[in-house]
Amino acid sequence: MSTVIATIFVFGLLILFHELGHFITAKSVGMRVDEFAIGFGPKLISRKVGETIYSIRIIPLGGFNKIAGMDPDEEQDERSFSAKPIWARMLVIVAGSAMNFVLPIILLFIVFMSSGVDTPSNQPLIGAIFPEKPAATAGLLPGDRITAVNGSPIDSWRQFVSVIQGNAGSKLTITYTRGSESGKTAILTPEYDEKGKRGIIGVTPQIDKYQPGMLESAGLAAKQTYIVAQSMLIGIGEMITGKSAADVAGPIGVAQMAGEVAQLGIIPLLQFAAFLSINLGLINLLPVPVLDGGHVVTLAVEGLRGKPLDKNQMQFIQMIGFALLMLLFVVATFKDISRLKLF
């Protein structure tokens, strides 16, 4: 799958689900949706069903809704966005991001049902070996069962890892079994990993595959989505407070990653899309003007004041939000290009 196709698939799926959330809730609370479009640019196909035009446009990256009354300058009626109560408008705004959390559950459900769940075994069995690391240099191979280190018996992978991590720079004698041959030995010295602050030899455990049923897959998908969202939220908080460096990727970087992941197959690409969808959902809920979270804040202010903000105030707030997003876009794009080593 080429980078272009992978990018269209990932961006299109994410934004389509986001806009679908706005569309479904707008219809459900009685708002008039004049158009629901897949893609941008000139129309390729369009058909009016009821009061809504459904169209497919030439640029297949996402889509949009044209909800009546979203623009204050438009003619307003009882089915316009601004005519609906605050709770209904908030629901429509939040629904887009909510769908970005529904999508990963669907994608991960497909992943678990089709390829099962990979879990690291606690048996002291080597699963993979990284080239040019101490284990590879010493001649260890995938499938070898570790039985002892410096003569002390090893009964589990956790025990083996604990010994390795605590002996960076120390020469160790690894006793292992390979097939029917037992008592084989290898001498190696764990190297010190600066990032992890521990000893490593460049091995991973054997991976056991487990095939869950339909209900369990759904539960696992929901749980995984929650865990990833929680981790991302903590990461965003740390970036905002300066506890960790802001490592952002723009459209070029995401497209490059999508292309690289696509080379690994459809399952990794679905996992990547799920990860990105959670990210998009969280970012969109930030209280920044222009984003969905910013719209929710202005609606909350309107509810407290009992009347909407002045048109000029709204334009000023939107302008600030747009400027911030453009700044972030420029920084992210510059980093993307720098990673491509064009400078």
Q: Which residues are catalytic?
A: 19
Cβ 63 vs Cβ 16: under 8 Å: yes
Provide the β-strand partners of residue 185. Answer: 175
Nearest 5°: the CA angle 99, 101, 107 is 100
Taking alpha carbons only, the member of 248, 225, 135, 227 closest to residue 186 is: 135
Half-sphere exposure of 158 toward its Cβ, with a 13 Å CA cutoff?
1
Cα–Cα dist 92/280, whole Å: 17
CA-based max dimension of the chain: 84
Cα–Cα dist 100/86, whole Å: 22
Taking alpha carbons only, the member of 333, 342, 331, 338 closest to residue 252 is: 333
DSSP secondary structure code for residue 70 in this structure = S
Provide the β-strand partners of residue 176. Answer: 146, 184
